Amino acid sequence: MANRWQVVIFVFMPKIGFRIRSTKSKSGSILVNFRPPSSPPLEVRTGLSTDVSLWSKDKQRSKGIDASLVKLNSRLSKLSVHLEEAINNSDGADLNNKWLKKEVDKFFNRAEKKDSIYLLNFYADYLRNIENNKGGSVGLKSNTVKVYRSFYKILVKYESAIEARLRFDNLDKDAFDDLYSYLINEEGYSPSHVSRQITRLKTLCRAASGEGIKVNSYHLIHKAKPIHSDKYLTIITQDDIDLIKSYAPENNYLKNTKKWMLIGVYIGQRVSDLLSITPSQVRVVEPGVVLVDILQKKTGVAITIPIKDSVVIDILLHNFPNKIANSNFNKYLKLLLKAANVNEETTGYLMSKNRRRELVTGPKWMFVSSHDLRRSFATNHYLNGVPTQYLMKMTGHLRESSFLLYIGKSANKDEDALTFLKYL
């Protein structure tokens, strides 16, 4: 005889969804989401990403055209099963984003977030966030992300050297000074490079403080140590440029390097912008004058550089150089200057065999790098009397103090005062 009463058990079967965060970049982060009963939807990052163009919005999976994408889809399906089981075994747990993130991390065997009072614990999450958002809403350039990765490695090495972990609440004056001393004396970095690293440390302190982490207040009053950067700058003078122009290389790679080098000292741009120039960016505006249009990668600033030098104009219009990697360009640049007898005795820093910066004296070609083309452009025109406000428009510097520091000069107050008299 059938039972008169039947017990019906309703089991909540969540619909686990996946989507790509809206992005203009080629690669998009994959997010997982579901809606608990009578609650707003929950959504967190999975830590996975895929090519945006290969993502199917309807199927909520990547279009499996190769083994790696098939594997990705399999992981998403297994994650979905894991979350369904976790939700139905939650025993009344508060289903929120924190819970969902913990379950996603559990599936991928990721360690639970550690105490963020320790600088590197916080930095790991901070770094992951900016890597996921590079070129996105945060707006960080890829080169900026690279320097933050590099600074993370520096801090790891520093902790190993002092055999202690850095804590935000212990970052007092002594801690800042000790890190500065280590980077200068142990790692052999230049004062300007160290100053940039300390600035990143202060940025981390502000970010941690904004997250409610207890941070020592010293970072708020710390001031960068004065940098005397005008001692050992390598400048390619007009005489050096004339030597290069008159030198006729026999090797094709040096012929190509010569073209890029001459363009570089006449447009004054970062090497990433210099070596990316194409003929389509060159415009003839009148006989003997061309303009080069550049959108600077680092700053996003659009600038236009005029060129009157006939040799460089001929290169740009009729003998445009072939593409070259930055690493090769730096190497060949020294060989070019050496062959052209750019041998003026110069003092500067070189990397020793044990990877330390050492102050040495030798022929100028030993010290020249691709970045010196930009600095030489700015310095030579400054010495020829071109006003700084016009030079800054060409180089992309936003502040005169930064520009003058860049070329190793100080503001000439007397000259400014006498110029002002002309308007009285």
Q: In which order are the strands placed within the sheet that holds 17-20?
A: 17-20, 27-34, 42-51
Residue 127, pLDDT above cutoff 70 = yes
Taking only Cα atoms into account, the Rg of the chain, rounded to an integer number of angstroms, comes to 29
Residue after which a domain boundary falls, among 80, 107, 134: 107
Q: Do residue 96 and residue 145 come from a single domain? A: no
> Is 6 domain-assigned?
no
pLDDT (tens digit per residue) in 266-290: 999 989 899 999 999 999 999 999 9
Report the C-alpha gap between 84 and 11 in whole angstroms: 11
CATH assignment of the domain containing 342:
1.10.443.10
Residue 9, pLDDT above cutoff 80 = no
Residue 155, pLDDT above cutoff 80 = yes
> Is 96 domain-assigned?
yes
Higher pLDDT, 277 or 11: 277
Q: Do residue 183 and residue 135 come from a single domain? A: yes
> Is 229 domain-assigned?
no
SS3 category, 308: coil
Report the C-alpha gap between 15 and 115 in whole angstroms: 33
Phi-psi category of residue 60: left, alpha or beta, with phi > 0 → left and psi -120 to 50 → alpha: left
User: What per-residue confidence (pLDDT) applies to 110?
Assistant: 64
Query: Which tokens go with 414?
Result: 């007397």
Higher pLDDT, 25 or 236: 236
Residue 409, pLDDT above cutoff 80 = no
> Is 83 domain-assigned?
yes
How many domains does one find in the chain?
A: 3
Q: Do residue 412 and residue 304 come from a single domain? A: yes
Q: Do residue 284 and residue 364 come from a single domain? A: yes
Residue after which a domain boundary falls, among 61, 87, 107: 107
Report the C-alpha gap between 384 and 369 in whole angstroms: 23
Report the C-alpha gap between 240 and 358 in whole angstroms: 25
pLDDT (tens digit per residue) in 215-252: 999 999 988 765 544 467 899 999 999 999 999 999 99
Range scoring the smallest mean pLDDT among 188-192, 257-261, 264-268, 324-328:
188-192
Q: Do residue 176 and residue 60 come from a single domain? A: no
| Domain, as residue range, for 50 | 17-107
> Is 231 domain-assigned?
no
Q: Do residue 293 and residue 337 come from a single domain? A: yes
Residue 194, pLDDT above cutoff 80 = yes
What DSSP string runs through 194-220? HHHHHHHHHHHHHHHHHTT----GGGG
- The values of phi and psi at residue 306, to 5°, are -85, 145
pLDDT (tens digit per residue) in 63-72: 877 777 888 8
Q: Looking at residues 16-28, what average pLDDT do you find? A: 77
Residue type, 414: D
Whether pTM > 0.85 for this model: the answer is no
Q: Do residue 209 and residue 326 come from a single domain? A: no
Range scoring the smallest mean pLDDT among 109-118, 301-310, 398-407:
109-118
Residue after which a domain boundary falls, among 81, 107, 133: 107
What DSSP string runs through 279-301? GGGEEEEETTEEEEEEE-TTT--
Range scoring the smallest mean pLDDT among 204-208, 241-245, 345-349, 404-408:
404-408
Dihedral angle, C-alpha 393, 398, 402, 404, nearest 10 °: 30
Please say whether the beta carbons of 266 and 312 come within 8 A.
Answer: yes
> Is 412 domain-assigned?
yes
**How far out from the chain centre does Cα 147 lie?**
5
Q: Do residue 383 and residue 263 come from a single domain? A: yes
CATH assignment of the domain containing 145:
1.10.150
Q: Do residue 357 and residue 280 come from a single domain? A: yes
The per-residue pLDDT of the chain, averaged, comes to 83
Report the C-alpha gap between 360 and 349 in whole angstroms: 6
pLDDT (tens digit per residue) in 64-106: 777 778 888 888 999 998 888 888 877 656 788 888 888 888 8
Q: Looking at residues 304-325, what average pLDDT do you find? A: 96
> Is 204 domain-assigned?
yes
Q: Do residue 94 and residue 137 come from a single domain? A: no
> Is 2 domain-assigned?
no
DSSP alpha helices (H): ranges in 269-424?
271-274, 310-318, 326-339, 371-383, 388-395, 400-406, 413-421
Q: Do residue 328 and residue 402 come from a single domain? A: yes
Q: Do residue 249 and residue 379 come from a single domain? A: yes
pLDDT band at 111 (very low <50, low <70, confident <90, very high): low
